[in-house]
């Protein structure tokens, strides 16, 4: 819990220290669920650092693959799905279409999904549509994702979806619509952890020059 709290506050050194300590304890006591939870936290923390330009996306990919290996050994489908959602996001960050497709396929095979994973799957599908140049389809998926996230109080994912709506509009040449969507995130971020503020602002700035960037 402390690792997650520091991770969400963007205090990565402290989060990393608690993850390392927790993993040593969990492995020492033979606690697979605690191990998987900490490995997943490690993946997201490293992804946050990559999104902020403080780490390579390959580091985050390796962290999620470690989580996936543990989940596979333990036959824990939920943790495996969590790891695949992270790998999909790494695929978006790295521009790796195959990784995105693999993540979507594995999440689909894990149905029914809890709301946070259903939201991530929809966002991955929208990102895939963006990469294929299907901007109207991507925009519709981002709209669906935003509504779904709002209904399930997934505020950070709603921010992702609204940023995506702006990206799709920008790529389709609707600059005013894009700016209107991007301006909406400020109120939404009030309900999100500190690290999401940092990532969202960085992504919003970057998408003004490269709308193919996806907000995951």
Residue 31 confidence class, pLDDT cut points 50, 70, 90: very high
> Each residue of 91-102: b (16+ CB within 10 Å) or e?
bbbbebeebbee
What was the pLDDT predicted at 216? 58
- Residue 20 scores a pLDDT above 60: yes
The pLDDT tens digits of the residues spanning 92-107 come to: 989 899 999 999 999 9
What was the pLDDT predicted at 179? 93
- Residue 213 scores a pLDDT above 70: no
The pLDDT tens digits of the residues spanning 40-83 come to: 999 999 999 998 889 999 999 999 999 999 999 999 999 999 99
What was the pLDDT predicted at 211? 56
What was the pLDDT predicted at 214? 58
Residue 2 confidence class, pLDDT cut points 50, 70, 90: very high
- Residue 169 scores a pLDDT above 80: yes
The stretches of 74-134 forming alpha helices (DSSP H) are 77-94, 97-109, 115-131
What was the pLDDT predicted at 204? 87
Residue 89 confidence class, pLDDT cut points 50, 70, 90: very high
Phi, psi of 173 (to 5 degrees): 90, 10
Q: In whole angstroms, how far apart are CA 186 and each of 41, 196, 201?
A: 26, 11, 9
- Gap between the Cα atoms of 106 and 196, Å rounded: 26
pTM: 0.92
Contact 114, 79 (CB under 8 A): no
Q: What is the CA radius of gyration of the chain?
A: 17
What was the pLDDT predicted at 203? 86
- Which domains, ranges and CATH numbers included, belong to the chain? 1-113 (1.25.40.10), 114-216 (1.25.40.10)
Residue 212 confidence class, pLDDT cut points 50, 70, 90: low
- Residue 163 scores a pLDDT above 90: yes
Residue 209 confidence class, pLDDT cut points 50, 70, 90: confident
- Gap between the Cα atoms of 87 and 39, Å rounded: 13
Give the dihedral of Cα atoms 48, 50, 53, 55; nearest 10 deg: 120
């Amino acid at each position: 819990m402390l690792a997650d709290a520091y991770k969400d506050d963007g205090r990565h050194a402290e989060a990393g220290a608690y993850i390392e300590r927790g993993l040593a304890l969990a492995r020492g006591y033979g606690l697979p669920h605690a191990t998987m939870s900490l490995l997943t936290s490690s993946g997201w923390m490293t992804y946050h650092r990559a999104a902020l330009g403080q780490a390579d996306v390959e580091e985050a990919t390796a962290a999620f693959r470690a989580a996936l290996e543990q989940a596979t050994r333990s036959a824990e489908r939920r943790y495996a799905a969590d790891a695949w959602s992270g790998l999909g996001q790494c695929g978006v960050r790295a521009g790796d279409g195959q990784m995105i497709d693999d993540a979507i396929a594995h999440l689909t095979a894990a149905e029914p999904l809890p709301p946070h994973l259903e939201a991530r799957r929809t966002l991955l599908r929208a990102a895939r549509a963006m990469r294929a140049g299907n901007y109207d389809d991507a925009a519709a998926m981002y709209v669906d994702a935003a509504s779904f996230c709002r209904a399930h109080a997934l505020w950070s994912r709603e921010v992702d979806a609204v940023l995506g709506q702006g990206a799709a509009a920008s790529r389709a040449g609707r600059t005013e619509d894009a700016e209107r969507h991007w301006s909406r995130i400020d109120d939404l971020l009030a309900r999100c952890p500190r690290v999401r503020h940092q990532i969202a602002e960085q992504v919003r700035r970057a998408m003004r020059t490269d709308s193919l960037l996806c907000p995951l």
